[in-house]
Structure 1
Amino acid sequence: MTFSLSTTVVSEEGDCLYSFEYAANAAQTSIAVIHVYVQLGVIEPTGSMLHSREIARIAQIQRLRQDLGVNLVGAAIVLDLAQEVAQLKARLDVYRSQPQSLR
């Protein structure tokens, strides 16, 4: 992936990546907040860009903080646990879809 000043680039894997500026606008927050989230490890950039899932995570954190008064660490934990539950449900669905003789 090459550095670009544009708001969107495509990674070598074919994923769209977005600038911090674009992410801040999309999540209705500031670039400074995004930098704090990166420094704390709450979101993971790809170089100097963000994947759409990270932008969604920023927006979800903002909603948890503003609407429910959850602090930043609490919001990150809530989202991590929600992701883990979703992964476990998907694994359970795969397990249940297998014939009983293969379990």
Structure 2
Amino acid sequence: MSDAYDVPGGKLKLKGVTKKKGASLVKKKTPTKEEVPAPKIVLPEDPRTESQKRYDEIQSKREMDQIKKKASKSHKQKVEEFNKYLGSLSEHHDIPKVGPG
């Protein structure tokens, strides 16, 4: 009685492919640093137009100015300015009392 899975063992072989004898016996010479050329680094061109470059430059400058402005004040100064601002608002902005009494 034969099994339903009667499969021969071993490696798969491709038809028409032959292994060259002696190819594994030849050692390859490893190149030295002087023989290997240094890889060339090619930077891609900037696809932006001149006006886009200027716009980005101005935006980064404004951002840096804002960061410097915010970093120049201490927390105490910021709280004092905020309280002064709230004090200058009209009664319309006051929080109405809710509840009895």
TM-score by structure 2 length?
A: 0.31
Could you say which structure has the higher strand fraction?
Answer: 1
Greater percentage in helix: 1
Q: If the length of structure 1 is used for normalisation, what is the TM-score?
A: 0.30
